[in-house]
Amino acid sequence: MTTRTNFVLHCRLPLFLAFFALAAASAHAQTYTKVGAGQDYLPATAQLTGTGPLTAIQGSFSTTTTASTASNPDLFRIYIDGTSPFSATTVNFDTTVFDTQLFLFDATGAGVYSNDDATDFTKGSLLNPSVPVTPGFYFLGVSAYGAIPRSGTGAASDIFPNTFDDTTGDLGFTGLRTPFPGAGPLTNWSLSGADVETGFYSINLTGVSAAVPEASTALSFGLPMLLGLTLLACRRAKQPSAASA
């Protein structure tokens, strides 16, 4: 077999296949749109998010009873895949127009962290990518300002410190909130002090796949290794063998 034939078989063809797989893995990035307006605010009833990489989740809040009744929060099951730092934000002035809160819970429903306002100059929320999150399944919650996730009944079961609280004092609106020590998993929400909001929201995401990662997501972890091995094969294929020297 000639050196040129070796080069084509061991270099060009694997490189083409590797880049094709990389393109296929990124081509399926999607926006998930909330389905219906059901009771999807607890881990057992959270909405799944399809398959493949996720770049955004969109939905809406509406009051379904009286004008003084706040909308239920929305909860989505996601997979933080580790391909890039995780982040989630509703700071997008073209699609989210009301005061939001974002919450991250682990696979058991235990709180990880939450945010009300990304800065003092916006009502959009941000779960900061500078805070590392271990890859795995999580629940991402979004609510209007004032909704409080709880692990039981009463203020003593609040999972996160509130903006204004008799125990914590005035924490302000910005920054990440970590859960109270010993806080249990999410079982209900207190909406008595929540804003009454209607309208659409959009959560922009990085480092996130749907609740059931598709094959292309798994492939993306091995592609850097595949490309490295292919480049090594290219170098060897270009070198003439001792017999042909």
Mean pLDDT computed over every residue of the chain = 74
Same domain, residue pair 48 and 130: yes
How far apart CA 100 and CA 106 sit, in angstroms, is 20
The residue ranking higher by pLDDT, 36 or 54, is: 54
Same domain, residue pair 72 and 143: yes
Q: What is the pLDDT of residue 208?
A: 94
* Cα–Cα distances in angstroms (integers) from residue 90 to residues 99, 127, 227, in the given order: 9, 9, 36
Beta strand 100-106 pairing with 136-144: antiparallel
Same domain, residue pair 22 and 35: no
Same domain, residue pair 221 and 209: no
- 148 near 186, Cβ under 8 Å? no
User: Into how many domains does the chain fold?
Assistant: 2
Q: What is the pLDDT of residue 233?
A: 55
Same domain, residue pair 161 and 194: yes
In our burial notation (b when 16+ CB lie closer than 10 A, e otherwise), range 71-88 reads bbbbbbbbbbbebeebbb
Q: What ranges in the chain are assigned the alpha helix state H? A: 3-7, 13-27, 215-238
Task: Compute the residue count for the chain.
Answer: 245
Q: What is the pLDDT of residue 173?
A: 73
What would the two tokens of residue 212 be?
Answer: 């059931």
What would the two tokens of residue 131 be?
Answer: 């805070």
Same domain, residue pair 1 and 40: no
Confidence band for 230, pLDDT divided at 50, 70 and 90? low
pLDDT score of 203 more than 90: yes
Same domain, residue pair 223 and 177: no
Contacts of 229 (CB under 8 A, 6+ apart): none
How far apart CA 188 and CA 115 sit, in angstroms, is 18
User: What range defines the domain where residue 200 resides?
Assistant: 29-213
Beta strand 199-210 pairing with 126-127: unpaired
Q: Give tens-digit pLDDT for 100-148.
A: 899 999 999 999 999 988 777 778 889 987 888 999 999 999 988 888 8
Contacts of 77 (CB under 8 A, 6+ apart): 43, 46, 47, 48, 49, 137, 138, 139, 211
Closest CA to 76 of 111, 35, 132, 29: 35
Beta strand 169-170 pairing with 136-144: unpaired
Same domain, residue pair 49 and 169: yes
- Residue keyed to tokens 């916006």: 122
Same domain, residue pair 21 and 112: no
The answer to whether the predicted template modeling score (pTM) of the entire model surpasses 0.85 is no
Confidence band for 40, pLDDT divided at 50, 70 and 90? confident
How far apart CA 203 and CA 58 sit, in angstroms, is 6
Same domain, residue pair 33 and 130: yes
Q: How far is CA 157 from the centre of its chain?
A: 25
